[in-house]
Amino acid sequence: DTGVSQDPRHKITKRGQNVTFRCDPISEHNRLYWYRQTLGQGPEFLTYFQNEAQLEKSRLLSDRFSAERPKGSFSTLEIQRTEQGDSAMYLCASSPPDRISTDTQYFGPGTRLTVL
């Protein structure tokens, strides 16, 4: 049984560069979520997809951030022109389509981004 996977696990980049992260949800989970977690804080919601449709975006998701889920399976999160304030752990989660457990989200290990 494979859980949510994320790639890369760590990314170090220079300010102004673009970065892209990938998330593979649990098989058959139709909902996918992105969160950001900074040191000493709880995760903060960024965006979510149901199948390939992006249905909700947080105000935290500035114009430099874009997320896609083109075939309703894996998702990518791109940050353009990175800033030092973007340094954080980026978490992906997925949840199943059945009614009973639909509000339970299963998290991946995260991608730690460091912007120098």
- Interface ranges with another protein (CB under 8 A): 4, 31, 33, 35, 40-45, 48, 55-56, 58, 91, 93, 103-110
Question: Cα–Cα distance between 7 and 60 in angstroms, integer?
Answer: 22
73 or 112: whose CB is closer to another protein?
112
Question: Cα–Cα distance between 46 and 65 in angstroms, integer?
Answer: 10
45 or 74: whose CB is closer to another protein?
45
Decide if 84 contacts 115 (C-beta within 8 A). yes
Question: In angstroms, what is the minimal distance from the CB of 80 to another protein?
Answer: 23
Best CA proximity match to 88, nearest among 5, 6, 3, 10 = 10
37 or 73: whose CB is closer to another protein?
37
Residue corresponding to tokens 């340094």: 87
7 or 80: whose CB is closer to another protein?
7
Question: In angstroms, what is the minimal distance from the CB of 10 to another protein?
Answer: 12
Question: Cα–Cα distance between 82 and 65 in angstroms, integer?
Answer: 9
